[in-house]
Structures are given as structure tokens and as C-alpha cells.
């Protein structure tokens, strides 16, 4: 009975969200300013159907002295949590701004990917190196293994921000810091000082560490300086990130993690998302055909941020975030949705069932 009641409630949330989105005034959403920093990559995707066959073929070519492995579907897209979130937010109709550092070539690449979204890239520094990623998306679940050259994403710190960047943050509604895991030199400093600066102007703060495994020895400092700070309002976690922070990727562990911090914890998985504050709200993911997994969290973050700035109730916000992510991962072209896209998506796409362990605690 409880599962049936939850399913009916989720359908009610979908209907309410589609109605809210359908009447949004783009002149009002453009008044919402979000600043995203500091990561941008050029992502090169290679689809690998079967890991064992791929590894065997790779070894055979290596042993024979090299050669070509034909037949792999490949694509090139914008990467980096900050840049992708900014692009997605702009596609949704917000005024989003990306601050980061890359090379002159990297700036032109970013401009190419950003030109149809309207995102502001005027604050991008071009005196650095382009970060690049080779992403192997493996099997039906598109499990991604990424080979990174982090470029200037390695050392972007608070002192990388100029006066005009700080002024932009002052006048925004929310600022996000992404990809701490690859920002080895500047990541903690950037998050600590950016969030402290933002709170002086009542700007909301949002943090997504991305995969922290390259820096497990720094996790204690991150927790004490950033995650447990009163300057952080929202922390976004996926399964891999939660496991690295707590040792296990379960909703129970996410709830326990939230009890140790001040900020709200927003946890997202391929099956559901949960918003954990004084109470726990869970909402199922959309049951879509998967064409990519890399970048799903960035799309999810943009929907979550949009819902936050719209002042949506947790279930509506999670429904929106899951819809933005669902649209993106099911897009063959790897494009982020507009509001019109989302209205149609929410009306037509079905939800996955909530796992049993989630049903027992879902609000």
C-alpha cells in the first residue's frame, strides 16, 4: 500500500511540475544569476560495448607493435562540472556565468559549445592549459572510466579570481564550486574562501567535489574546512562520491553523513535522488534509454539548483533535477534541455520504481 501511495504521489508531483514549468516567465528566470567555477575540459568519449573484448583487442594490438582498432563510436563534448552546469543552467533560462582558466584554444572550444546556450564566458582566463579527458563509457550501463589531463583545473585558487569575478559573485543568487578532486593545488582554498566571501552578501553556496579518490589523503581537511562549515548551504553527492566519503553508498549512510554537517545533502543515483535536511525526501529517476553517463551529475546539479532558486518544495525540486539529468543522458546528441523540452519530457516519460530501502524512509 505504501509503495502504491508513493507512486501516486510521484505522479502528482510530475503533473504539478509540468504545470509550473509551463507558465514560467523567461524574463523572471533571467533575473536568477548563478556563478560556476572552476572546471572546464574537452571531453572525448569512446563507447566500449564489452570490457573484456576491448582489453583483449588492445593487448593484441600492443603485442603486435600497434595498429588500428576500428568500429568504436566516438564523440567530443564540453566537459568539467562547472562549465557543464553553467551551460545547462543557461539552457534552462537562467543567467549563468562560468569562471575558469584554460588556453586560447580552450576558450574557442568552450565558446563553440556554449554559443547556443547563452552562458556568460567573459570571465574565463586564457593564460593557462586546456584540460582534456578521454572517457571510456563501458557496457550497457555506460560506466565511465576517465583519463585526465587536468590542465589549469589543477591549481585554480581563490586568488585566481579577479575583482570583476568577485563583483559577479556578490550580485548572484548562488555560487557553485566543482571538481575539487582534480583541483589539487587550489581546490580547498577556492571553496573555503569563495563560500566565505559569498555569505557576506547572502549568496547561496553549492559544492560538488566530484570523484575525490585522487585526493583521499586530503578528505579530512576538506571535511573540516568546507563540508562541515556553516558557509556551505548545499552539498551534492553521487554514489561513488558518497562511498569515498563514508565507505558505503547507501541512503542510510547519506543520512548519517548529513547528521554530521550543517549543509543540506542532495544525493543522486541512477534510480532515485534524495534531499536530506531535517527530513528526508526521495524521488525516483526517469526510466529512459541510456546513451551516456558522463555529465549526468552536472545536468542533475543544474536542475537541482534551478529548483532551489525557484523555491520549489523538495519533491518538486528532485523531480526537476531528475528530469534534467534524464533528458541529458537519453539525448543522442548530448544536449541539455530547454524549459519546453522539459515540459514535454516530464509529461511523457515514466518513472522508475523506488528501491525498497528507499520506500521505508521516503517522505
Report phi then psi at 148, rounded to 5: -110, 140
For the segment 153-173, what is each residue's pLDDT rounded down to a tens digit? 999 999 999 999 999 999 999
DSSP letter assigned to residue 105: H
**Strand order in 41-48's β-sheet?**
74-79, 41-48, 131-138, 143-149
Check whether 92 has a pLDDT greater than 80.
Answer: yes
Share of the chain above pLDDT 90, in %: 79
For the segment 49-64, what is each residue's pLDDT rounded down to a tens digit? 999 999 999 999 999 9
Check whether 193 has a pLDDT greater than 80.
Answer: yes
Helix (H/G/I), strand (E/B), else coil: 274: strand
- Mean pLDDT of the 317-343 span: 94
- Specify the length of the chain in residues: 363
Instruction: Supply the pLDDT for residue 3.
Output: 65
Instruction: Supply the pLDDT for residue 4.
Output: 64
- Mean pLDDT of the 189-200 span: 98
Report phi then psi at 343, rounded to 5: -55, -45
Report phi then psi at 305, rounded to 5: -65, -45
User: What whole-number distance in Å separates Cα of residue 162 and Cα of residue 167?
Assistant: 9
Instruction: Supply the pLDDT for residue 1.
Output: 45
- Mean pLDDT of the 185-199 span: 98
- Mean pLDDT of the 246-265 span: 94
Instruction: Supply the pLDDT for residue 362.
Output: 60
Give the residue, 136 or 320, on which the prediction is more confident: 320
For the segment 68-83, what is each residue's pLDDT rounded down to a tens digit? 999 898 888 889 999 9
Among 257, 164, 249, 250, which Cα is nearest to 211's? 249
Least confident of 9-13, 74-78, 192-196: 74-78
Structural domains of the chain in order of their starting residue, each with its CATH number: 2-41+78-129+157-359 (3.40.1190.20)
Instruction: Supply the pLDDT for residue 363.
Output: 53
Among 100, 94, 80, 127, which Cα is nearest to 26's? 94
Residues 6+ apart with CB under 8 A from 227: 207, 235, 261, 263
DSSP letter assigned to residue 286: B
Mean pLDDT, all residues of the chain = 93
Orientation angle between helical segments 296-310 and 314-329, nearest 10 degrees: 150
Check whether 279 has a pLDDT greater than 50.
Answer: yes
Amino acid at each position: 500500500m505504501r509503495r502504491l501511495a508513493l507512486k501516486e504521489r510521484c505522479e502528482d508531483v510530475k503533473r504539478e511540475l509540468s504545470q509550473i514549468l509551463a507558465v514560467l516567465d523567461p524574463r523572471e528566470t533571467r533575473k536568477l544569476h548563478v556563478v560556476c567555477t572552476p572546471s572546464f575540459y574537452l571531453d572525448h568519449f569512446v563507447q566500449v560495448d564489452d570490457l573484456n573484448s576491448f582489453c583483449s583487442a588492445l593487448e593484441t594490438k600492443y603485442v603486435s607493435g600497434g595498429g588500428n582498432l576500428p568500429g568504436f563510436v566516438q564523440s567530443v563534448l564540453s566537459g568539467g562540472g562547472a562549465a557543464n552546469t553553467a551551460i545547462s543552467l543557461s539552457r534552462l533560462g537562467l543567467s549563468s556565468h562560468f569562471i575558469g582558466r584554460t588556453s586560447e584554444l580552450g576558450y574557442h572550444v568552450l565558446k563553440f559549445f556554449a554559443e547556443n546556450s547563452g552562458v556568460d564566458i567573459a570571465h574565463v582566463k586564457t593564460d593557462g592549459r586546456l584540460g582534456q579527458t578521454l572517457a571510456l563509457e563501458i557496457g550497457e550501463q555506460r560506466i565511465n572510466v576517465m583519463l585526465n589531463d587536468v590542465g589549469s583545473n589543477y591549481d585554480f585558487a581563490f586568488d585566481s579570481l579577479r575583482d570583476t569575478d568577485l563583483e559577479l559573485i556578490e550580485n548572484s543568487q548562488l555560487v557553485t564550486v566543482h571538481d575539487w578532486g582534480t583541483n589539487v593545488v587550489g581546490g580547498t582554498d577556492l571553496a573555503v574562501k569563495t563560500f566565505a566571501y559569498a555569505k557576506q552578501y547572502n549568496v547561496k553556496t553549492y559544492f560538488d567535489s566530484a570523484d575525490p579518490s585522487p585526493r583521499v589523503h586530503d578528505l579530512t581537511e576538506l571535511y573540516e574546512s568546507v563540508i562541515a562549515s556553516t558557509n556551505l548551504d548545499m552539498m551534492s553527492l553521487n554514489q561513488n562520491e558518497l562511498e569515498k566519503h563514508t565507505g558505503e553508498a547507501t541512503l542510510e549512510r547519506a543520512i548519517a553523513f548529513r547528521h554530521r554537517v550543517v549543509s543540506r545533502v542532495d544525493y543522486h543515483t541512477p534510480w532515485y535522488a534524495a534531499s536530506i535536511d531535517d527530513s528526508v525526501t526521495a524521488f525516483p529517476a526517469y526510466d529512459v534509454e541510456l546513451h551516456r553517463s558522463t555529465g549526468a551529475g552536472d545536468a542533475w546539479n543544474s536542475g537541482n539548483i534551478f529548483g532551489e532558486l525557484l523555491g520549489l518544495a523538495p519533491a518538486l525540486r528532485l523531480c526537476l533535477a531528475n528530469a534534467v539529468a534524464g533528458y541529458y543522458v537519453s539525448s543522442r546528441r548530448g544536449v541539455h534541455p530547454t524549459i519546453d523540452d522539459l515540459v514535454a519530457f516530464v509529461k511523457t516519460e515514466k518513472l522508475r520504481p523506488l528501491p525498497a530501502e528507499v520506500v521505508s524512509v521516503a517522505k
